[in-house]
Amino acid sequence: MNLYIKQRVFSWGDKFSVYDEAGFEKYYVEGEIFTWGKKLHLYDLQGNELAFIRQEIFTFLPKYHVSRNGIEVAEIVKEFTFFKHEYSVNGLGWQVHGDFWDHEYEITSNGQTIAAVSKEWLTWGDTYEIRFAAGVDEITALSVVLVIDACIAAERN
């Protein structure tokens, strides 16, 4: 299963639409504005919250928490490295590595690919393709991708 994140070029706050392979909207993401730290909500098309992403503030390195149904399922932490970016997904044992500046990276577990992300170039607004391995919890993996995107955006600003 592949999903595509399409960020709206002109929007107040973070707004993302997530599409399936056929081009139909499957999920949408809305960020809270005027908050301490980034907060994102992942919804299905009926408006049900599927995941809540919250940045922990006042930390040396970026740290985010992903909750589903009010229960924290993962903590994404940027690792301290000198020449490359690495992220750990605590609670799931996942690692995130690759070329983050070009949006080409993988989420892995024990050497197996969970999801691979690549940026589509020459599109209106940023568009990312996420390729999931069979049987992967796409909501949790999608939440991790949203965190990485938030970290990249924060570094660029």
Residues 6 or more apart from 139 whose CB is under 8 A from it? 42, 50, 51, 68
Segment among 49-53, 84-88, 136-140 with least mean pLDDT? 84-88
* Whole-number pLDDT of residue 60: 79
Please state, in angstroms and rounded to a whole number, the distance separating the CA atoms of residues 14 and 124: 16
- Per residue in 3-37, pLDDT (tens digit) is 998 765 444 457 788 999 999 999 999 988 877 88
Helix (H) / strand (E) containing 85: none
End-to-end C-alpha distance for the chain, whole angstroms: 32
Average pLDDT over residues 122-138: 83
